[in-house]
């Protein structure tokens, strides 16, 4: 996960914020404005992440090593700056003014081992089916396959393969940082924890539509096949994004909880103000 740490498999508790004076309520932005700020911030992050891939003009395909190296640079820059968007969002909405940025994004040492180990085991079980199918289709037996996988030469070859580094290292790390650690803290106070699990992956899924333009540009397939492939990719990236967002929240990575109840008389408050860290 992008941000690991928390209290194991403990669902974040729900608490009511301390009621604020009426003057504070009148001075803060309305709930609608806060939600728009949250959505716009997430949209800006998604557009910046995808847009960074196209700042380099090139006639080469996306799998060319030179193109991959350039995109590594731009994506790493955007990902490194993405926490600043969360910081700006916090200043605009007033959420968690006394909370550190890393804590807000879920980076903490408390409970890091169960929060890292249990999702890892669960994800391994999730991919057990494809791995078994791969082993059945492989002409070599299990022992020979394990020798190849565990051989230092195989790993050295992977570490020099730009496509492997992109698919297995850079893309997962940067995507989890931007689309989970940065977006979920901004969406959860506005939508609630449950809806945020299904809302956040939509940004993640839509961000993969940019592959359509490259496939059409290089005419890698028919138009119908390209759009069908894009729809399928959106589906499974959105589902997997919901899975990782659920793990992020379920392991207690986030420091945020449920927002204020309108029955408390704070309906004019921004739903992001007055939240407490547990």
Beta strand extents in the chain (DSSP E only): none
Q: Which residues contact 101 (CB under 8 A, 6 or more apart)?
A: 83, 86, 87, 90
Residues 6+ apart with CB under 8 A from 114: 8, 9, 251
| 64, 208, 210, 211: the active-site residue | 208
Known catalytic membership, residue 214: no
Q: Is 256:14 a contact under the CB 8 Å cutoff? A: no
CB distance 25 to 44 below 8 Å: no
Note every long-range contact of 222-231, with CB atoms under 8 Å and residues 24 or more positions apart, other chains counting. none
Known active-site residue 208: yes
If you write DSSP's letter for every residue of 15-29 in order, what string do you get? -PPPPPPHHHHHHSP
CA atoms within 13 A on the CB side of 38: 26
Task: Tell me the C-alpha to C-alpha distance, in Å, between residue 20 and each of 23, 24, 57, 89, 271.
Answer: 8, 6, 52, 21, 12
State the number of CA atoms in the 13 A half-sphere of 158 facing the CB: 14
Q: Distance between CA atoms of 55 and 71, rounded to whole angstroms? A: 9
Among 18, 91, 175, 176, the one annotated catalytic: 175
Residues designated as active site: 175, 208
């Amino acid at each position: 996960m992008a941000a690991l740490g928390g209290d194991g498999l403990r669902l974040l508790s729900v608490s009511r914020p301390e009621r604020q004076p009426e003057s504070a309520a009148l001075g803060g932005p309305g709930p609608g404005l806060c939600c728009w700020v949250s959505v716009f911030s997430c949209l800006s992050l998604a557009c910046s992440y995808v847009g960074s891939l196209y700042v380099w003009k090139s006639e080469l395909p996306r799998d060319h090593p030179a193109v991959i190296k350039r995109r590594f640079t731009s994506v790493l820059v955007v990902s490194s700056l993405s926490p600043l968007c969360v910081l700006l969002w916090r200043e605009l909405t007033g959420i968690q003014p006394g909370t550190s940025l890393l804590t807000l994004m879920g980076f903490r040492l408390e409970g890091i081992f169960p929060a890292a180990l249990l999702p890892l085991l669960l994800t391994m079980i999730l991919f057990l089916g494809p791995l078994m199918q791969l082993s059945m289709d492989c002409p070599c037996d299990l022992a020979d396959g394990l020798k190849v996988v565990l051989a230092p030469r195989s790993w050295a070859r992977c570490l020099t393969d730009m496509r492997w580094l992109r698919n297995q290292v850079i893309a997962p790390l940067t995507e989890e940082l931007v689309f989970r650690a940065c977006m979920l803290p901004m969406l959860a106070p506005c939508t609630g924890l449950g809806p945020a699990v299904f809302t956040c992956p939509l940004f993640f899924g839509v961000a993969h539509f940019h592959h359509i333009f490259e496939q059409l540009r290089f005419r890698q397939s028919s138009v119908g096949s390209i759009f069908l492939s894009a729809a399928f990719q959106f589906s499974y990236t959105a589902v997997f994004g919901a899975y990782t967002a659920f793990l992020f929240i379920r392991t207690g990575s986030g420091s945020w909880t449920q927002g204020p109840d309108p029955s408390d008389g704070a309906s004019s408050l921004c739903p992001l103000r007055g939240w407490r860290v547990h």
